Amino acid sequence: MSTRTLEEHEAAGGEDRRRLLAGLPVVERRLELGGVETAVQEGGEGPPIVLLHGPGEFAAKWMQVIPELVESHRVIAPDLPAHGASAVPDARLDAALAEGWLEELIARTCTEPPALVGHVLGGAIAARFAVARGAALDRLVLVDTLGLARFRPRVGFGLSLLALQVRPGERTYERFMRHCSVDFDGLREDMGERWAPYMAYGLELARSPSAKATRELMRRVGLPPIPADDLARIGAPTSLIWGRHDEANSPRVAEAASERYGWPLQVIEDCADDPARDRPQAFLRALHLALDGTVSSKRKGDRDAT
């Protein structure tokens, strides 16, 4: 079914993964979803919210915001197919597989239509799902997402990403992360003892046999732009949250989508491409506004979050 089992994965990098999950108010389940043996973190009570992470990550990327979210919501945070402790399927990693996988995840974990929050690759999967199955969602929140336009990262970001893929190590990882965070040194300090396992597990995933499949999912699902006519058909209430200094996916992409589709946009200042990691409190404020439906794309003040 996969290049390696969850047990083999845990033997390779499980201690770092366990350290990152330790203390989070979630419980891990393992579900067979669309042919993918999937690790899913669940916790809290209330309206369901599904969190889809970005490429090369796993569910604990939401660790800065999960503790507050579980106070008001039932949080479901899976490892995407071919990511983290979720298996690499035998079937082709494409949009159809990702959408079927997400449909089963929602059916198995949600008793009512959830809010779906997707970051970068997770956002592209979420948007494609909303195009095809928007009635299954209460609302959609896209965070620095791919799929809204052609992928045109800044040169420095692209070169550092390529270096990390070719030679994953501490030096290339930190060089890449400096393009993903406005204040990388401050991020390391804020994460404290969690930084070492965070970097170690990220590197374990980058070096693992599943890294090739991760890149395939990006190539087939994350990078191709979703046709504008398809995006216009999304029926679920949709909001955008973006980092002001995103080098991979310019805020101009979000501004154009907000203008074209009428989707409210909130921009997080002093932030690159990962608001939930780098500015968790600002992200949570923006997310709660999006979930409450109280942010409007028609007022300029709603475009800024601090």
131 part of a folded domain: yes
Per-residue pLDDT band at 293 (split at 50, 70, 90): confident
Query: CB–CB of 236/138 below 8 Å?
Result: yes
Share of the chain above pLDDT 90, in %: 90
Q: For residues 220 and 94, what is the distance between their CA atoms, to the nearest angstrom?
A: 5
Residues 178-199, mean pLDDT to the nearest whole number: 96
126 part of a folded domain: yes
> What is the average pLDDT value for the chain, to the nearest integer?
93
154 part of a folded domain: yes
3-state class of 139 per DSSP? strand
Query: CB–CB of 130/240 below 8 Å?
Result: no
By mean pLDDT, which of 6-15, 219-228, 268-277 is the weakest?
6-15
3-state class of 304 per DSSP? strand
Q: Domain limits at 80?
A: 6-305
Q: For residues 159 and 140, what is the distance between their CA atoms, to the nearest angstrom?
A: 32
User: Which residues does 295 contact at the CB level (< 8 Å), separation at least 6?
Assistant: 239, 264, 266, 286, 289, 302
By mean pLDDT, which of 46-50, 88-92, 94-98, 175-179 is the weakest?
88-92
Q: How many domains does the chain have?
A: 1
Give the per-residue SS3 of 19-85: HHHCCCCCEEEEEEECCEEEEEEEECCCCEEEEECCCCCCHHHHCCCHHHHCCCCEEEEECCCCCCC
1 part of a folded domain: no
Q: What value, to the nearest 5°, has the Cα angle with vertex 192 and ends 164 and 170?
A: 20
Domain with 115 in it: what CATH number?
3.40.50.1820
Strand partners for 243: 268
150 part of a folded domain: yes
DSSP string, 143-194: ES-SSSS-----HHHHHHHHHHHHS-SHHHHHHHHHHH-TTHHHHHHHHGGG
Q: b or e along 76-109 (b: 16 or more beta carbons within 10 Å of the residue's beta carbon)?
A: bbbbbbbbbbbbbbeeebebebbbbbbbbbbeeb
Q: For residues 142 and 279, what is the distance between their CA atoms, to the nearest angstrom?
A: 16
| pLDDT tens digits for range 230-257 | 999 999 999 999 999 999 999 999 999 9
The type of residue at 100 is G
Per-residue pLDDT band at 91 (split at 50, 70, 90): confident
pTM of the prediction? Answer: 0.93
Q: For residues 6 and 189, what is the distance between their CA atoms, to the nearest angstrom?
A: 31
**pLDDT for the residue numbered 148:** 98
| pLDDT tens digits for range 153-183 | 999 999 999 999 999 999 999 999 999 999 9
Residues 181-197, mean pLDDT to the nearest whole number: 96
